[in-house]
Structure 1
Amino acid sequence: MTPTPVDLLIEARWIIPVKPDNTTLEHHAIAVHDGRIVAVLPINEARSRFVATKTVSLPDHVVTPGFVNLHCHAAMTLMRGLADDLPLMRWLQEAIWPAESRHASHAFVRDGSLLAAAEMLRGGITTCNDMYFFPEATAEAFARLGLRGVLGITVIEFPSQYAADADDYLRKGLEARDAWRDNPLIRFALAPHAPYTVSNKSFERIGALADELELPIHIHIHETAGEVADSVREFGQRPVARLESLGLLGPSLIGVHAVHLDTEDIERLAIHQCAIAHCPTSNMKLASGAAPVASLLDRQLAVGLGSDGAASNNRLDLLREMRQASLLAKLQTSDAAALPAHQALRMATLDGARALGLDAEIGSIEPGKAADIAALRIDDPDELPCYHPASHLIHVLDRRAVSDVWVGGQRRVKHGKLLQITNTELLGIARLWQNKLRQ
């Protein structure tokens, strides 16, 4: 039989496809053509069945789907470490909002998002669900580096350098969506900031737009105990109940943080099949608390992982979030079996894709899906021996192990180096904005 031509054959020591669950394939290959996965099969079979334009051999690597960062503020990379060791509201009111009022601009967001996209790609992240001002600038940065993005149309009630009021935020965000509608890597979501910064009137309009345009809703919820108490005092309802009364709960809603949930909150989220973006490092660093992830997973919610912004993390590193999520779940439940390695990886891949409504397209290594792929090298004596690659991925490796990354079959990282931008340019961006913000 004549071998079938394909663009790319990736041969690996191990492949963790994520679907089926709890599966690790040894000495397998991934055939890719026109940006999509054609087959996953043993290396010897792949060599006889396909003839590839390019073959990449990864004899010491574990290959996974590209990671999905379900919650980020990419441009805030320019504020990395600007205001550490503060609780959320002081951090926002005393440091972040004042800095944004002075510096937020198209250039700020484009440059910060370039730094963020570079960091994420080098860490194996191939999709980012972002929320920030000037989404068209984030789109420019992500598209240039080849990162898949879902960009939030941010809505808040108070004015900023970007927009005057909630209607203005929506108008400008929808214009950006229209301008980028033909780019295959860029999608949009509606992103009301939080229940404490958005009015009922604006929420009702956002709900109607989400239904009309079939867009996800990306929103911070129940991040702190103070936020919940303030909602009860002002609206007579906890934030989740308020969102339910306004018609916003549903499969398209991605609730970020979801730390301070009671049993009724969890039941509401489960009934409406909402998704959750779990951000363990940011929640710990801001002393917000720990989300009840085990309970959310028990109720079959889609729970993905987010880094949050580098200003509150201070890394955009899904490998670290997987480890933190797994350890935190074990600590919370006093159960060493809670959130095992394969499940943590699924949260960082297929469950994040499911939350975004993209699980038919990305999130697992399956024929027909886009070839969003990350390869991590396991050959350092400090990392060996390796008995269980999935466990190694979560508990041993860090993002420096990422060697190669593909998005839609296009190589974005080769042997640890970005192919679309130089370190010299990135260093120049970082130094420029550090000097501006320091002043």
Structure 2
Amino acid sequence: MTTSSSQPISEALFARARQVTPGGVNSPVRAFGSVGGHPHFIASADGAYLTNADGQRLLDYIGSWGPMILGHNHPGVREAVAEALQGGTSFGAPNEREVLLAEKVVELTREQGVERVRFVNSGTEATMSALRLARGVTGRSHIVKFRGNYHGHADGLLVEAGSGLLTTAEGGLGEAAPSSAGVPQEYAALTLVSEYNDPAALDTLMQQRGHDIAAVIFEPVVGNSGVLIPTPEFLAALHRVRDHGALLIADEVMTGFRLSLQGACGRLGIQPDLITWGKIIGGGLPVGAYGGRAEVMENVSPSGPVYQAGTLSGNPLAMAAGLATLGELQAKPELYEQLERYTAALADGLKAAAQEAGVPLSVNHIGSMLTAFHQEAPHGSVQTYQQAARSDTAAFAGWFRAMLRQGVYWAPSQFESIFVSAAHGDAELNLTLDAARRAYAELK
């Protein structure tokens, strides 16, 4: 595409998009609303880099919001999809690849209790379906989520959600307020809210309302209030919800197979009743899944009375991409150590650059996930939603724009994780930290 003036192509595309798409984007955070400027429209991606419509090369730390753990356009994934494409894009009928991928997921997560898996097309579908299953199994209507945890845009989950919906609104124990227009208060009332990393609050809520609660859903490592890492005390409280007859659902849409081959649950020793996945199990194609013990999962139609269906579920392209991605991770477990080293070095470098410039910064990281909170955390790290919400979003926006001017594409929200891929190496680390030092100097 060319424009009739010196206007950047991405800017012109954004103007056109706003005429035909709400806000000009198909997912809100892409609009750069909290950081200013206009979004970059991407023409291609390879390895650790994106190329925008104007031909500018950008070092990418979003990785399509998590699935690109091997890097963009990985040859093995691309070839697997190309091979599958020769046989067609969708059958609306079973195919061998969905059996193979289900077997692979069960193999890798059996120690976390997974015996059956059902594929869907997105993380939202996965969490929505897992909650319906929990309600069907328990005969109860209420669920518990944690303030700032994001589980997709189903009505009952858009309550005190994170990321672009993050606010500092205060609510009492268990009170729920919709985070979006269009969510009936009557439906939101079925979702009770507790505080992440507050075991006493969860214990109290379960003591008061446990007999009503079908499930407690949580992010094992939060990525949508920025990266928040659970304390051992909080993990113990999560496992106690079963004492009240509720199911425990780990939302690993973001963390599944990213933090280890067994996901965050395997890394942190979590034993949920159900796990939801997305991102990596589709290798960058649209996918989701939920799974758990056979006695629970066999309640899903057609084996049981809990209905869930999807025309494109288990489609051969997504299954092929997922098989290639998980196969590569399983064949090269040293990749996780590589990702961890890079992310730790990135965290140390960011903190040093900010300290040199006198800019308050607290960095949370685990595995290949990281958030640089623009604040001085009281205990050296941000642990709760309320602490995350105190971040200086104006400082982050200025830093984000300075990084982008230097060709480093960070997540365009203070309240998101960034994702490191196997394609990030020493050259990318040095480029990032050089840019960060200049960006923090500008903030000073």
Indicate whether the TM-score tops 0.5: no
